[in-house]
Amino acid sequence: MIKRRNFIKASALLTVPAIFGGSGVANAQLCRPTGNRAVTTEPDSATFFPNVQPYTQALFIPPAMVDIPESELATSGTIPQEINPNKHQRYNEFPAEQIHQQFVEEGHWNYHDEITRGTQGQVPDGNGGFTGKGSVAWMYSGGPDDGVGVEGEFGSILSTPGPTMVAHYGKPVFIRRLNRLPDAADVMMPVGYPAVSTHLHNAHTASESDGYPMDFMQVGDHWDHHYAMYLARNDPKEALASLWYHDHMIDFTATNVYAGLSGLAIFYDDIDTGNENDTAAGALRLPGNLEFGGDDEGNANGYDISLLLHDVRFSADGNPTYNVFDTDGHLGDFLTVNRKVMPFMNVKPRKYRFRVYDGGPSRFYELALYNTADRDTQIG
């Protein structure tokens, strides 16, 4: 039984970012090198994918969304190229200073090399052997054309989590999202439904752009989202910093997110600017650098790292499986961070900011660091 005290403690851990310094090591009791499976309510079975070796996959760090000119917005059929201010409540008052575009597509994602090699659809690896295509996933584009991810059918680079929305209060954002998933009869994904409504969780957003569950786009449609980046009631206490966007389709939110439709969002302001070298009075100078040159190795994400926790169960063919009849909440048996099974991350002896999210679908997490000599700080 989950005790109320532990429930509250765990819930608090899942909603706040933290700063870590030095080189903390995972507690062996929390992360057992031979026990990468999570505890589930169902016994292991030959119908599920076998254990894989943990800590062999590099952490995937989603790139930031790319800013594009309005002239590059996609157009096909009934999709207009230009932004229509009349479709948004206060666009003329808060015209976009950042414009992004995301395609939603189906593809194959490498959760782990051993799982990818076990997936159906074996293809030559160029070395006389064979490899799988990867696990079926629904993904977002919107990052750089040469970014990390998988190439989609329409030439864009896809990933799950999708590219990170990096925004600043006072600088409105426009995002066009286009549903290019296959029709329901043609999808490879064994769960979910290919209609999409994208919700920016907890953001102060006008209703037409909020990703209301009934405001979904069918295959081939699009939806334009306008984010005014204005504080609720203009109250500084309403400033949010760590958010995520996810599918919000009526009756299919859990399964569509499980299929891969989620991404992260970081909001900066005049106090937390994302520049740890900011010389302005009052600046927090927290680890950041998402758009200030990255780190000294050219990593554009710098030292402000988002970590999306998600547990997934794979069938014997290496594709995600989901028990839609379990009304107590589906539990996966492989723990993933940014959709990589038990990854590792090479770090330096310096401060990092980690934003930790529980991506669902049902699991609670208790997180801990071992042997950190009190060099970690929880914010919030």
pLDDT tens digits for range 272-284: 988 888 889 999 9
Whole-angstrom Cα distance, residue 76 to residue 220? 9
How many CA atoms, within 13 angstroms, populate the side-chain half-sphere of residue 337? 21
| Stronger pLDDT, 24 or 97, i.e. the higher one | 97
Alpha-carbon dihedral 248, 94, 175, 75, rounded to 10 degrees: 120
Is the pLDDT at 225 greater than 70? The verdict is yes
* Distant-in-sequence, close-in-space partners of 42: CB < 8 Å, separation ≥ 6: 331
**DSSP 3-state of 302:** coil
| Stronger pLDDT, 20 or 12, i.e. the higher one | 20
Sketch the domain layout of the chain as residue ranges. Answer: 13-378
Per-residue pLDDT tens over the stretch 324-349 = 888 888 888 899 999 999 999 988 88
Please say whether the structural domain 13-378 has been given the CATH code 2.60.40.420: yes
Q: What is the pLDDT of residue 350?
A: 83
Q: What is the pLDDT of residue 248?
A: 97
Which amino acid makes up residue 261?
A: L
**CB burial of residue 346 (10 Å; 0-12, 13-18, 19+):** exposed
pTM here is 0.86
Q: Look-up: residue for tokens 């409504």?
A: 197
Q: What is the pLDDT of residue 106?
A: 95
Q: What is the pLDDT of residue 5?
A: 45
Whole-angstrom Cα distance, residue 160 to residue 291? 21
Two structure tokens written together for 317 = 């063919």
How many CA atoms, within 13 angstroms, populate the side-chain half-sphere of residue 204? 18
**DSSP bridge partners of 334:** 37, 312
Q: What is the pLDDT of residue 361?
A: 86
Of 59-63, 86-90, 131-135, 251-255, the least confident = 131-135
Q: Which of 121-130, 175-184, 297-306 has the highest mean pLDDT?
A: 175-184
For the stretch 294-300, contacts whose Cβ atoms lie closer than 8 Å and that sit 24 or more positions apart, written own/partner, are 299/61, 300/63, 300/64
Q: What is the pLDDT of residue 203?
A: 93
Q: What is the pLDDT of residue 164?
A: 94
Whole-angstrom Cα distance, residue 124 to residue 9? 49
Label residue 211 by pLDDT band (50, 70, 90).
very high
Q: What is the pLDDT of residue 291?
A: 52
The CA–CA distances, whole Å, from 134 to 113, 162, 253 equal 8, 17, 23
Whole-angstrom Cα distance, residue 42 to residue 39? 9
Average pLDDT, the chain: 82
Say what percent of the chain tops pLDDT 90: 53
Whole-angstrom Cα distance, residue 289 to residue 277? 9
Q: What is the pLDDT of residue 298?
A: 43
Of 6-15, 55-64, 279-288, the least confident = 6-15
Is the pLDDT at 151 greater than 70? The verdict is yes
| Stronger pLDDT, 31 or 173, i.e. the higher one | 173
Task: Summarize the confidence of residues 155-167 as an average pLDDT.
Answer: 93
Two structure tokens written together for 32 = 């057992």
Per-residue pLDDT tens over the stretch 94-147 = 999 999 999 999 999 999 988 887 665 555 555 555 556 789 999 999 998 877
- DSSP-derived letter for residue 371 is S
Alpha-carbon dihedral 70, 72, 77, 83, rounded to 10 degrees: -10
Whole-angstrom Cα distance, residue 201 to residue 164? 13
Q: What is the pLDDT of residue 170?
A: 96
Do residues 65 and 142 touch, judged by C-beta distance below 8 A?
A: yes
Label residue 374 by pLDDT band (50, 70, 90).
low
Q: What is the pLDDT of residue 47?
A: 59
